[in-house]
Amino acid sequence: MSFTTIARSKTEPYWEGSFGHPFIKELQKGSLDEKIFRYYLIQDDYYLMHFSRLYQLVGDKADDQYLKDLLYTNAHDLKIGEQAIREVFFDQLGIDPNASSHTKIAPTAYHYVSHMYRQLSESNAAIAAASLLPCAWLYHDIGEQLIKQGSPTPIYQQWIETYATEEATQKLNSECQVLNRHYDNSSLEDQQKMVNAFVISSQMEYAFWEMAYTFETWPEGNLDYVNTIQY
């Protein structure tokens, strides 16, 4: 079986679960609390800044010219596409363009980005690229599904339309094809690492909706306990 077939078979609870998450269901219905969407956008701004950088860095690491060019193209397209649209959303909702720089980054956003940087530092380019794939793939699938009914809320409809494009489909197919080829030519150990990297990213994608929906923050700790410690 191909890498993408194996990887997707291991992520159904998170992949299919994303379609049923209240964030996605309410976004389509138009009932998603705007405060939740604002929190999501700010955390996603931090994520996309690093995601774009990771495309570039993984491309730098790649020996395969086709994979290298694909990742560089993704970095470029992300800046003029998804990141640019986020700027429009920020403007429409009156969000400070620099909000992510002075907002506490939620644990899920931080851990997701850290996971991908770890693949970059510890693994080869194909494994690192495998950790990047779920983001584009899942959002594409969500866009394709939600566009069938759309959303009555204009900004949520814009969000859906961002991912339901023929261009996105073509780019995703190319990315899947090149990673399938690398998987076929990899050792059993590296094949497992590619799958593991993909699965963790898929888990983090699901957690991202929950992070936004619950306004996830870091735990405060327990100073009362600290004050009882005898030194």
Kindly state whether residue 229 falls inside one of the protein's structural domains: no
> Which residue out of 26, 82, 175, 205 is catalytically annotated?
205
Kindly state whether residue 187 falls inside one of the protein's structural domains: yes
Kindly state whether residue 226 falls inside one of the protein's structural domains: no
The dihedral through the CA atoms of 140, 141, 144, 150 has a sign that is: negative
> Which residue out of 26, 82, 135, 175 is catalytically annotated?
135
Q: What is the CATH number of the domain that holds 135?
A: 1.20.910.10
Q: Higher model confidence: residue 102 or residue 194?
A: 194
Kindly state whether residue 179 falls inside one of the protein's structural domains: yes
> Span 47-69, mean pLDDT?
95
Kindly state whether residue 227 falls inside one of the protein's structural domains: no
- Annotation marks residue 205 as catalytic: yes
Query: What would the two tokens of residue 113 be?
Result: 């980005």
pLDDT in tens, 33-48: 999 999 999 999 999 9
Short-list 108, 129, 60, CA closest to 204: 108
What range defines the domain where residue 9 resides? Answer: 3-218
pLDDT for residue 230: 61
Which of 65-69, 164-168, 224-228: highest mean pLDDT? 65-69
- Is the pLDDT at 153 greater than 80, yes or no? yes
Q: Domain total for the chain?
A: 1
